[in-house]
Amino acid sequence: MSKVVEAEKAAQANVVRRREETAATRSMLNTAKVMEDNPVALRLKELEVLERIAEKIEKIQVHGSLDSILTKLIRINRE
């Protein structure tokens, strides 16, 4: 009897996990569509990522404009 209950709970947990994965994927797709149609939204996301990277760096020296830095960062990610 306890094995049946355990199996049911495991099945329910799998359903919940799959729903969460589906919701996360749907959210990423919606974000990608917004960025595709809106260059400002894309730039804001780039700045957010750059901020997260900068938080992990103890010291940084910047040479050039923000635009050139972001362009190089994007090229690095696409390679």
pLDDT digits (tens, 9 = 90+) for 17-27: 999 999 999 99
Please answer whether residues 50 and 73 qualify as being in contact, where contact means their C-beta atoms are separated by less than 8 angstroms. yes
Residue ranges covered by each domain of the chain: 1-37, 39-79
Instruction: Let me know the angle formed at the C-alpha of 79 by 57 and 69, rounded to the nearest 5 degrees.
Output: 45
**Torsion of Cα atoms, 31 then 32 then 37 then 38, to 10°:** 60
Pairwise CA distance, residues 71 & 34, whole Å? 20
Residue type, 23: A
Q: How confident is the model at residue 60 (pLDDT cuts 50, 70, 90)?
A: low
